[in-house]
Amino acid sequence: MSFLDVIILIVKCVVLALGAITITAYMTLFERIGLARLQHRVGPNRAGAIPVGGGRHILGGWLQPGADVVKLFFKEDIMPALADKWVYMIAPGFAVIPALIIWATIPVGCWPIGPNAQLGCPTGSDNLLQLAEVSIGILYLLAITSIGVYGIAIAGWASNNKYSMLGAIRASAQVISYELALGLAVLGVVMQAGSFSTGQIVEQQAGWWFIVPQFLGFVIFLVAATAEVVRAPFDLVEAEQELVGGYNTEFSSMKFAMFYLAEYMKLVAMNAIAVTLFLGGWRFPGLRPLAEYVSANFGPIAGNAVFGLLSLAVFLIKTAILCFVSIWIRATVPRIRYDMLMNLGWKLLLPLALFNIALTAVLNVFFPNDRLVSGGIAFVVGLVLLILVSRFAGPRKPKSAVILVKKSGQEVSAGR
Amino acid sequence: MIGELFKGLGTTLKYLFKRPVTVQYPEVKRPVRERFRGRHELKRFANGMERCIGCSLCAAACPADAILVVPAENDPQAPNSPGERYAATYEINMLRCIFCGYCEDACPTNAIVLEHQYELSYYDRKSSIYTKDMLLVAPEKGYGEIPPILQQLGLRPSPPAQIDL
C-alpha cells in the first residue's frame, strides 16, 4: 500500500463520515416534515425559505438542521453534580462512534476505479463507493450495531439519575433480546448468498433481490431493526410519559446532540443495511446497459462515473423509501408495552427467524440450482406463515372477555 | 393483526395527501370572536372628547388591581371630557390584567373597552405598563370605529362598545 493509497483512504473515510452526518441531519428534517404531514400538520417550513413572489416560498425548512445544530451548540452544557464525570463525558462518543463506523462496510454504490476497474464491481475489483470490502462484513455490521447500546447504557449509569438508569436498563435488555432475531434474519441472507461479504451479497442479487426468497427474513429484519435502534413503536427507552427522556435526560447541549445524531444515524444505517441485504443494494434494472452505452460512446471513465453516481442515487433513494416507512410506522403505531415487547422478541420473532433459517437451508439443499423454484416456495411459505402468525399469535383476548369496568359486582364488557 | 396494522397505516397515509390544517400565524391571522377580550382602548365621543371622566370605578372593579387612575379637574375653557373631571393618568399593568372585562362593565360612560388586539408581548417588565396615550384612541377616530380585523369580515364590534349614550 503506497502513501497515495493511504491518503485516498483517509479522504474516503472523511467524506463518508461527513456524508453520513449530513444525510442524518437531513433525515431529521425528513422525519419532522414527514411526520407532520402524516399528522395533518406542516412541519418546519421557515429556515431558509426562498421567496418566489406572490407571498409564496419554496424550499422552506431546508436550513432547519443547521439551525438546530447552532441552537444546540450554544445551549448551556450542564453536568449533574453527582454524575460520574469521565464516564458521563465519554458516553456521547460511545454512542456516536458505532453509529458512524457502521457505514464502513456498506457498499453505497459502485464506482469502478483504479487499475482493476470492472463495471458491476465483482469481487476483487476496486470500488470507490465502498470504504472497506471485508470478507466478514456482515459480522462487522452485527457487532457494531450491538456495540451501540454501550453508549446508552453508560450514559444512563453515569447520569446518576433513576430515570436515565431505567432507560439504559431497558435499552440493554431490548437490544440483547432483538439482537438474536436480527442476527438470525441476517443469517438467512448469508446462507442464500453463501458469503459474509456485503459486496458479494449485493453481487448475488443481480436481477433477483433477496426480498423474494427471504421475505420472512426481511419482515423479521425490519421489526428487529426497529427495536434495535430503539425507535417507535419500540421506543420504551425514552418513553417520555414514564421516563422523562430516558437515558439522555441529564444531557444537554452538544452532548445531547450527539445522542440525537447517533440515534438517527443508526436508523439510517439500519435502513441502508436492509437495502444492502434485501433490496439489492445499489442495483437497479437498466443501470448497467446505460453505463455500457455511455462508456462505449464517451470512454470508460465517463461510463464508470455515470454508473457510480446513478448507483449511489439508487441506493440513497431505496434507503429514503425505507426511512419513510420508519417514519410512517412511527406516525401510526403506538408504543407497545414492555411485556409485549419481550413476548414479540422471544416468542415470535426468534422462532420465526429460526424457521426461516431452516427453510432456507432445506430449499438450498433440495433446489441448489433452480433459484426460481426455491425463491418462489420460500416467498409463498413466508407470506402464508406471516399471515397465520399474525392471525393466531399475540396476547389477545376475545372482545367479549375484556372487562372494561368492574363496579359493585357488575361487569361491563367490550363485547357487543 | 395484519389487517388492523395496514388499516392504521392507510389512515395515516391518507393524511399525507390532505392539506394541513395549520394556520401560518404571522402571515395569516385567524379572526377573533366578536366578543373577544383583548387589549383595552379608551374610547372618545363622536366630537372627539374623551369618554373617561376619571371616576376610578374601573380601578375599583378590577380584581387584579391592574388599573391606576389619577383624576384631575377639567379646565372649563378647554375640557378633556364632558364631565367635571378627566383622567390625568390612566395606566393598566398588562402583567396583572386577567382580561376579565369587569372594567368594561363598571365604566359608566363606556370609555374603556376590551378590543381585539391580542399581540401583547414585550421584552421588559416596564413595557407591561400601558399608559393613557397608548390606550386612548386617536381623536379623529371617534366612537364606533370598527376594528380593522372586523372590518375585513364585515362584523360589528363587541356589544358594550355599541351602546351609545
- Would you list the DSSP string of A73-124? HTS-----TTS-HHHHHHHHHHHHHHHHHGGGG------B-STT--TT--TT
Cell 401560518 -> residue: B24
C-alpha cell read off for A142: 452485527
Question: How does pLDDT run across A327-342, given as a tens digit for each residue?
Answer: 999 888 888 888 888 8
Task: Look up residue A398 and give its DSSP letter.
Answer: P
pLDDT given at position B163: 47
- The mean pLDDT value of chain B amounts to 81
Task: Indicate the helix (H) or strand (E) that contains B25.
Answer: none
Where are chain A's structural domains? 79-393
Residues of A numbered 309-328 whose beta carbons fall under 8 angstroms of chain B's beta carbons: which are they?
Answer: 328
Residue B161 pLDDT level (bands cut at 50, 70, 90):
very low
CB-CB neighbors (< 8 A) of A37 in chain B: 15-16, 20
Residues paired with A411 in a beta bridge = A406
| Closest Cα in chain A, distance from residue B38 (Å) | 28
Q: How far apart are CA A67 and CA A60, in angstroms?
A: 13
CB-CB neighbors (< 8 A) of A331 in chain B: 12
**Burial (CB count within 10 angstroms: exposed 0-12, middle 13-18, buried 19+), residue A128:** buried
**By CA distance, what is B8's nearest residue in A?**
A332
Q: How far apart are CA A72 and CA A95, in angstroms?
A: 17
Q: Which domains, from first to last, does chain B contain? A: 24-162 (3.30.70.3270)
Q: How far apart are CA A11 and CA A17, in angstroms?
A: 10
Cell 455490521 -> residue: A141
pLDDT given at position B68: 92
Q: For residues A75 and A60, is the Cβ–Cβ distance under 8 A?
A: no
Q: For residues B17 and A336, is the Cβ–Cβ distance under 8 A?
A: no
Q: For residues A158 and A91, is the Cβ–Cβ distance under 8 A?
A: yes
A394 touches chain B (CB under 8 A): yes
Q: How far apart are CA B32 and CA B34, in angstroms?
A: 7
- B27 and A55 in contact by Cβ < 8 A? yes
| Closest Cα in chain B, distance from residue A383 (Å) | 11
Asked whether residue A103 carries a pLDDT value surpassing 50, the answer given is yes
B83-98 burial by CB neighbour count: b if 16+ within 10 A, else e?
bebbbeebbbbbeebe
Q: How far is CA A374 from CA A194, A281, B33, B113, in A?
A: 15, 21, 69, 82
Put simply, whether the predicted model's pTM sits higher than 0.95 gets the answer no
C-alpha cell read off for B130: 400601558
Most confident range, picked from A66-70, A385-389, B114-118, B147-151? A66-70
**By CA distance, what is B27's nearest residue in A?**
A55
Q: Which residues contact A145 (CB under 8 A, 6 or more apart)?
A: A98, A102, A182, A228, A266, A269, A270
Q: How far apart are CA A48 and CA A26, in angstroms?
A: 14
Question: How does pLDDT run across A208-259, given as a tens digit for each residue?
Answer: 788 888 888 899 999 999 988 888 888 887 777 777 777 888 888 888 888 8
CB-CB neighbors (< 8 A) of B27 in chain A: 55
Residues paired with B136 in a beta bridge = B42
Task: Look up residue A400 and give its DSSP letter.
Answer: G
| Closest Cα in chain A, distance from residue B110 (Å) | 41
- A38 and B15 in contact by Cβ < 8 A? yes
- The mean pLDDT value of chain A amounts to 83
Task: Indicate the helix (H) or strand (E) that contains B48.
Answer: none
- The B-side interface with A (CB below 8 A) comprises 1-2, 5, 8-9, 11-13, 15-16, 18, 20-22, 24, 27
- B21 and A37 in contact by Cβ < 8 A? no
CB-CB neighbors (< 8 A) of B21 in chain A: 40-41
Cell 430449499 -> residue: A363
- Give which of A349, A3, A296, A44 is closest to A183, Cα–Cα: A349
A41 touches chain B (CB under 8 A): yes
First to last CA, chain A: 75
Residue A396 pLDDT level (bands cut at 50, 70, 90):
low
Of A40, A329, A393, the CB nearest to B15: A40
Q: How far is CA B143 from CA B57, B112, B146, in A?
A: 21, 11, 9
| Closest Cα in chain A, distance from residue B157 (Å) | 30
Q: For residues A121 and A203, is the Cβ–Cβ distance under 8 A?
A: yes
- Looking at residue B69, its amino acid is V
| Closest Cα in chain B, distance from residue A327 (Å) | 11
| Closest Cα in chain A, distance from residue B148 (Å) | 21
- A42 and B8 in contact by Cβ < 8 A? no
C-alpha cell read off for A366: 433440495
Which of A164-168, A189-193, A357-361, B152-156 is predicted with the least confidence, judged by mean pLDDT?
B152-156
Task: Indicate the helix (H) or strand (E) that contains A385.
Answer: helix A371-392
Q: How far is CA A194 from CA A82, A187, A199, A281, in A?
A: 52, 10, 12, 17
Q: How far apart are CA A288 and CA B21, in angstroms?
A: 45
Q: How far apart are CA B132 and CA B110, in angstroms?
A: 16
Of B8, B13, B16, the CB nearest to A333: B8
A36 touches chain B (CB under 8 A): yes
More confident residue, A292 or B154: A292
